[in-house]
Chains A and B, each alone.
Chain A
Amino acid sequence: MTPTREDELSEIIRDASGPLAVRGGGTRGINLAGGDLSTRGLTGITLYEPGALTLVVKAGTPLVEVETALAAERQRLAFEPQDLRTLLGTDGASTIGGVVATNASGPRRIQVGACRDHLLGVRFVDGAGNIIKNGGRVMKNVTGYDLVKLLAGSYGTLGVLTEVSLKVLPLPQHEATLTITGLDETQAVAAMSAALGSPYDITGAAFTEGRVMIRLEGFTESVAYRAEKLAKDLGHFGKVEIGPADWQDVRDVAAFAKQVGDVWRVSIRPSALIETLAALRADGPVQIVTDWGGGLVWVLCDEGRDLRLSLLTGHATRVRGTPNGDAPRFQPEAAPVAALSAGLRQRFDPRGILNPGVMG
C-alpha cells in the first residue's frame, strides 16, 4: 500500500489486521515481515526558507530531490546522510523519512551533530492510527517533551513519519583534507584526538586504509590558514599532505563494498579504540574503517560471527549479514532500559504491528 495522504495512511494503520512492513526507499536491506506499507506516495517539499535555514518535507520524498533543491540555494543537509546501497547490495532511492527513521549520519557528525540534532519537527501516525505532531519548524523549541529525537532512529517502530522539518546549513566555500600516511592505529587515534582537540573546527576525522584524514571546511582563506596551522601541529606524527579527498567513500564504507563478510558498526570512546581492536582480533580476523575520530568503527568480519562477544565496551550494530542464532541486529539494552523502550513501543504501537522485531 502506498498512501498519498496522511489521513489515508492513518486509516490504513487503524484498519490493519496484522503486522505492517513500513519502508521508504528500502535501501537498508532489512527484511521486514508484514503487509507492505510504503511512504513513497507522501512526497514534496512543503516549505523551504533558505534565509531561515529550514526545510519542511514530506517523508517519502527521495533524498536526491531534497539534496538537489538545497544545492540550488548552496545549502545542504550538514549531517551527511550515508548511501549504503553499494555496501549492502541494495537498490532503490533513499527517502528523507528513511534517513530520519534510521538517524543516518556521516563523518560530519563529530562537528555538527547527527540527523537527530538537525531534526526540528515531525508529523507521524502511531500504531493506533493517531496523527501526531511534535517539535515544529523553528531552531529553538522546548515546548513539551521532545518526541522528535525519539522518532529519529526509531526505524518505524513508534510511528510512520509523514513529514519532517530539518535545519539545513550553507555549503562551505572550500574544503580541504590533511592526510598522514604510514601511522599505526595508536598513532592514528592520537593524531585524530589532537586535531579534534584543536580550535580549528574539524568536520571529519577518519582512519582508513592506512591513512589519517582530517577535513576542514569554510571560507577559502580560513581553510588555508587552519590547514597550515594544523599541519604544523600534527607534523610530529608524519608527513602531512593537504588536498582534496573522497569523504563519500568514508561515509559509505566503500572499502568493504566488494568484500565478502559481515559488516558491523561499533560505537566506542576513541580512547578505547586500541583495546577494542585487540579484543576483536583475538577472536578472529577483522578489517576496519574508523570514523568520528576513533569513535565509530566499521568492522568487516567472518560471516556469522557475533562481534559483540568480543566487545569490552561501547555497543555494536550488525549492518550487513544474515542473522545468526541469538545475535540481534541491535545491541540488547540493560534490563531497566529495555523495559523503558518496550514500554514506549507498547504505548505508541499497542498492537505491535509497526515493523515488529526490527529493533529487537
Chain B
Amino acid sequence: MQMPQPSNRVLALKSQLADRLRQVLPKDAVISDLAETRAYECDGLSAYRCPPMLAVLPASTQEVSDVLRICHEMGVPVVPRGSGTSLAGGAMPTSDCVILGVARLNAVLETDYADRIIRVQTGRTNLSVTGAVEAEGFFYAPDPSSQLACAIAGNIAMNSGGAHCLKYGVTTNNLLGVKMVMMDGTVVEIGGGHLDAPGLDLLGVICGSEGQLGVVTEATLRILHKPEGARPVLIGFNGNAVAGACVSDIIKAGVLPVAIEFMDRPCIEACEAFAHAGYPDCEALLIVEVEGSDAEIDHQLALIGEIAARHNPVEVREARDADEAARIWLGRKSAFGAMGQINDYMCLDGTIPVTELPNVLDRIRQMSAEYGLDVANVFHAGDGNMHPLILYNANTPGDLERCEAFGAAILKLCVEVGGCLTGEHGVGIEKRDLMHVQFNAADLDAQMSVKDVFDPGWLLNPAKVFPLDASAGHRAA
C-alpha cells in the first residue's frame, strides 16, 4: 500500500504543535509519547500500521474546532477517528498526522420521543444510542456488527449498514442533522430535528465521506419504536442458484423481511464445526427474519414457507420460540469467529445485483481454485451485499499478497456484473487503488471537487478513498 512521503516540514513541527495544542486542551488530551501514540497505529484493518505524530482527545466541539484551526494554520494533516473499528483502514494514520479521536465526546444531548429523535455527541457507541432509548421501547436502526464498539462518528463517516438495513436503511437514511467542524475550525450546523434540510443536500454528501470533509461532533438521529417481536426461519437448499431464486421470489411477494442472510457450504461447514448450531447438511442456507405480532410473524413465515417449498428446500426450520431463534442465529453470528479459528482471513464487502448471485458465487469458486485459497461466503442476500471471507495464512510468505490479489479479482467481478466495490465498509486505503475499476476520471474528479470545496488544503484524512495518482492534481492545487 503506497502512502505519500511524510512531510519533513510537518514532522519538524511536532513539539511546537504539541505545545500549541496543550494550550487549548487538557494535558492528558494531547498524546505525543511514541509508546502511547502506538495505540492509534491501526484500525480494524490491522495488516497496515503506522503510529501518528500526535493524538488528541478533545471533549467538546469547541476543543475540536481549536485543534483543527491550529492544525490548519500549521498545515498539519488530521486523521479523525471514531472507535477505530474500520475494516477498510479509514482511520489509519500517516506518520506526519494528528489523530483526532472523538471518544470523549459521548454524551446524549437530547431525546424526544414525540419527535422520535435523539441528539448525541458522535463519540458515543452505536449500541449505547439504542441503550439510551430502549427503556421507552425505542431503538436506533443501523446495526453494524461492530455496534458494541463502533462510534456514531465512524458510522456517519462510512455510512455504515448492518443486518437489518433491508427494512430500515443505512446510516444516511437515519441521520437528520449534524454539527460539524470544518478543517479551518469553522463550525457548521446542517439539518436538525426536521425531516429535510433547505438547499442542497449537504448532509447526504457528508455522510459516507470517510472523514474527509469535516469532523462531525454532534448528530441528530431518527429513532423508531421496536417491533412487537421478531423471529427467523432457516431454509436449506441443494444449490446456490435455487437459494438465489428463492430470495427474489420472497422479495417479489411483498414480504419485506428485516434480514435475509445467505451462507454457502464452506461457511455452513465452518460455522457448524465451530458453533454446533445444528445446521442442515446442504449447499446453501438462508436465514430470513420477519417482524410483527405473533400472528403477523406466523402469517409471513407461512408465506415464506410456501415460496420456499416451490424451490425444493432441503429443510425449512421455523423458530418456535426465542431459544430456537437464538440457535438459528448462532451459526451466522459466529461465522467470523469460526473463520478466525481456522485461519487468518480477509473480509470483502462488494455488492452485486441480487439476480447475479448464483453466477458470482460460481465464479468465486473457480477463482478460489486458481488462487489456491479457500473462500467462504456470508451474504446480506436481500440487498446483494456480499462478504466473501478469503482464508490465508499470515505466516506463509506470499499468502497475504495472493489473498489481496484474489480479493481484488472478486471486487472487479462485482463491478463487472453491475455492482460496486464496497457496500458498507467504505473505501479507506483498502480499496483506494481499485476506484479506477468503478469510476472513470470524470467520475472521480466530480467527487474530488466536493473535497476541494470542504477542505481545499486536502488536510483531512489524507491518502484515503481516491487513488493517489488521481488526486495528485487536486492535492497540489
| B410–chain A nearest beta-carbon distance, Å | 14
A331 contacts the other chain (Cβ, under 8 Å)?
yes
Residues in B with CB closer than 8 Å to A222 are: 292, 296, 299
Q: Are A139 and B383 in contact (CB under 8 A)?
A: yes
A161: interface (CB < 8 Å): no
Q: Encode A132-166 as 1/0 by CB contact (under 8 A) with B.
A: 11101111111111111110111001100000000
Given contacts A138-B423, A269-B194, contact A74 B384 (CB under 8 A): no
What chain A residues lie within 8 Å of B226 (beta carbons)? Answer: 199
Query: What would be 6 A-B contacts, judged by CB atoms less than 8 Å apart?
Result: A116-B201, A143-B422, A189-B114, A219-B300, A337-B188, A360-B199
Task: Name the contact of B449 in the complex, choosing from A137, A157, A271, A348 (C-beta under 8 A).
Answer: A348
A134 touches B447 (CB 8 A): yes
Q: Which of B29-37, B95-103, B346-354 contacts A (4 or more CB under 8 A)?
A: B346-354
Q: Measured between alpha carbons, how far is A152 from B113 in the docked complex, in Å?
A: 29
Contact A333 B199, CB 8 Å, known A52-B355, A146-B172: yes
Q: What is A's interface to B at a CB cutoff of 8 Å?
A: 49-54, 73-74, 103, 105, 109-110, 113-114, 116-117, 126, 130-134, 136-150, 152-154, 157-158, 169-173, 189-190, 193, 196-199, 201, 219, 221-222, 225, 267-271, 292, 295-296, 314-315, 317, 330-331, 333-334, 336-338, 340-341, 343-344, 346-348, 359-360
Contact A330 B198 (CB under 8 A): yes
Question: Which residues on the B side are within 8 Å of A199 (C-beta)?
Answer: 137, 225-228
**In-complex Cβ contact of A343 among B161, B195, B453 (8 A):** B453
A residues less than 8 Å from B282 (CB atoms) = none
Query: B398-417 toward A: CB 8 Å interface, digit per residue (1/0)?
Result: 00000000000000000000
Contact B351 A138 (CB under 8 A): yes
Q: A147-B446, A150-B205 are in contact. Are A140 and B170 (CB under 8 A)?
A: yes
User: Do A315 and B198 touch across chains, with their CB atoms under 8 A apart?
Assistant: yes
Known contacts A52-B354, A137-B353, A172-B254, A142 near B426 by CB under 8 Å = yes
* Interchain CA distance A273-B14 in the complex, whole Å: 52
- Given A153-B201, A267-B195, the answer on whether A336 and B186 have CB atoms closer than 8 Å is yes
A245 to B138, CA, bound (A): 29
On chain A, the residues within 8 Å of B295 by CB distance are: 221, 225
- B174-205 CB mask vs A (1 if < 8 Å, else 0) is 00000000100011111011111111111111
Q: Output the residue of A52, A270, A314 with the most chain B CB within 10 A.
A: A52
Q: Could you tell me if B205 and A139 are in contact, using CB atoms closer than 8 angstroms?
A: no
Contact B427 A337 (CB under 8 A): no
Cβ B112 vs Cβ A149 within 8 A: no
Encode contact with A along B200-241: 1 for CB under 8 Å, 0 otherwise. Answer: 111111011100000000000000011110000000000000
Closest partner residue, chain A, to B411 (CB atom) = A143
Structural contact, B256 and A169, CB atoms closer than 8 A: yes
Inter-subunit contact A193/B199 (CB<8 Å):
no
Provide the bound-state CA to CA distance between A333 and B198, in Å.
Answer: 8
Q: Please, which residue of chain A has its CB at the minimum distance from the CB of B414?
A: A138
Q: Which residues of A contact B353 (CB under 8 A)?
A: 49, 52, 54, 137-138
Given A147-B446, A331-B199, A140 and B165 touching (CB < 8 A)? Answer: yes
B225 A197 Cβ-Cβ under 8 A = yes
Contacts of B199 in A (CB 8 A): 330-331, 333, 337-338, 341, 359-360
**Is B252's beta carbon under 8 Å from chain A?**
yes
A142/B159 in contact, CB under 8 A: yes
Interface locus among B19-27, B55-63, B366-374, B435-443: B435-443
Q: Per-residue CB proximity of B236-269 to A under 8 Å, as 1/0? A: 0000000000001101111010000000000000
Q: Which of A141, A152, A193 touches B351 (beta carbons < 8 Å)?
A: A141
Q: Knowing A132-B442, A133-B443 touch, does A154 contact B299 (C-beta < 8 A)?
A: no
Alpha-carbon distance A225/B195, docked complex (angstroms): 29
> Within the complex, what minimum Cβ distance (angstroms) separates B294 from chain A?
10
Task: Mark B residues whose CB is within 8 Å of A.
Answer: 112-117, 137-138, 158-159, 161, 165-166, 169-170, 172-173, 182, 186-190, 192-205, 207-209, 225-228, 248-249, 251-254, 256, 292-293, 295-296, 299-300, 351-355, 380, 382-385, 418-427, 431, 435, 438-439, 442-447, 449-454, 465-466
The 7 residue pairs across chains A and B that have the minimum distance between CB atoms: A149-B204, A51-B248, A139-B383, A343-B453, A140-B423, A170-B254, A347-B449
Chain A residues whose C-beta falls within 8 Å of the C-beta of B300 in the assembled complex: 219
A267 touches B196 (CB 8 A): yes
The reply to whether A145 and B447 contact each other, CB–CB distance below 8 Å, is yes
Among the interface residues A109, A145, A158, which one has the most CB atoms of the partner chain B within 10 A?
Answer: A145
Q: How far is the CA of A292 from the CA of B222 in the complex (A)?
A: 14
Contact B425 A142 (CB under 8 A): yes
CB-CB nearest in chain B for A73: B252
From known contacts A138-B351, A140-B165, A171-B254, infer whether A145 and B200 are also in contact, taking CB-CB under 8 Å: no
From B213, which residue of chain A is reached at the shortest CB distance? A145
Question: Which B residues lie within 8 Å of A152 (CB)?
Answer: 201, 204
CA distance A262 to B41 in the complex (A): 59
Instruction: Check A149/B201 contact, CB under 8 A, given A171-B254, A197-B114.
Output: yes
The interface residues of chain B lying within 8 Å CB-to-CB of A317 are: 198
B184 to chain A, nearest CB (A): 10
A193 to B137, CA, bound (A): 14
In the complex, are the beta carbons of A268 and B194 less than 8 A apart? yes
The docked-state distance in angstroms from the alpha carbon of A297 to that of B43 is: 45
Quick one: which of B173, B189, B382 contacts A113, CB cutoff 8 A? B173
Q: Give chain B nearest CB distance to A351 CB in angstroms.
A: 15
Name the residue on A nearest B114 (C-beta).
Answer: A193
| Given A52-B353, A333-B199: A144 touches B439 (CB 8 Å cut-off) | yes
CA distance A74 to B385 in the complex (A): 25
What separation, in Å, do the CA atoms of A152 and B208 have in the docked complex?
16
Q: Do B354 and A149 touch across chains, with their CB atoms under 8 A apart?
A: no
Q: Are A109 and B116 interface neighbours, CB within 8 A?
A: no
Q: For B424, what are the chain A residues with a Cβ–Cβ distance below 8 Å?
A: 140, 142
* A331 surroundings in chain B (CB, below 8 A): 198-199
A267 to B435, CA, bound (A): 38
A343 CA to B184 CA in the complex, in Å? 15
A49-B353, A138-B384, A140-B424 given as contacts; is B116 within 8 A of A340 (CB)?
no
* B418 / chain A contacts, CB cutoff of 8 Å: 136-138
A residues less than 8 Å from B443 (CB atoms): 132-134, 144
| Interchain CB contact under 8 A, B194 and A116 | no
Report yes or no: B420 in contact with A53, Cβ–Cβ below 8 A. Answer: no
Minimal beta-carbon separation of B354 from chain A (angstroms): 4
Decide yes or no: A153 and B426 within 8 Å by CB, A136-B420, A144-B435, A314-B194 being known contacts: no
- Chain B contacts for A103, CB-based, 8 A: 196, 201
Residues on A with beta carbons closer than 8 Å to the beta carbon of B254: 74, 170-173, 219
Which B residues are in CB contact (< 8 Å) with A330? 198-199
Which of A73, A145, A315, A346 lies in contact with B209, CB distance below 8 A?
A145
A267 (CB) vs chain B CBs: closest residue: B194
Shortest distance between the CB of B319 and any CB in chain A (Å): 19
**Which B residues are in CB contact (< 8 Å) with A198?**
225
Closest residue of B by beta carbon distance from A292: B195
Q: Across the two chains, which residue of chain B brings its CB closest to A295?
A: B195
Q: Which residues of A contact B114 (CB under 8 A)?
A: 189-190, 193, 197, 270-271
Chain B residues contacting A148 (CB-CB under 8 Å) are 204
B190 with A337: CB separation less than 8 A = yes
Chain B residues in 8 Å Cβ range of A150: 200-202, 204-205, 450
Residues of A near B187 (CB, < 8 A) are 336
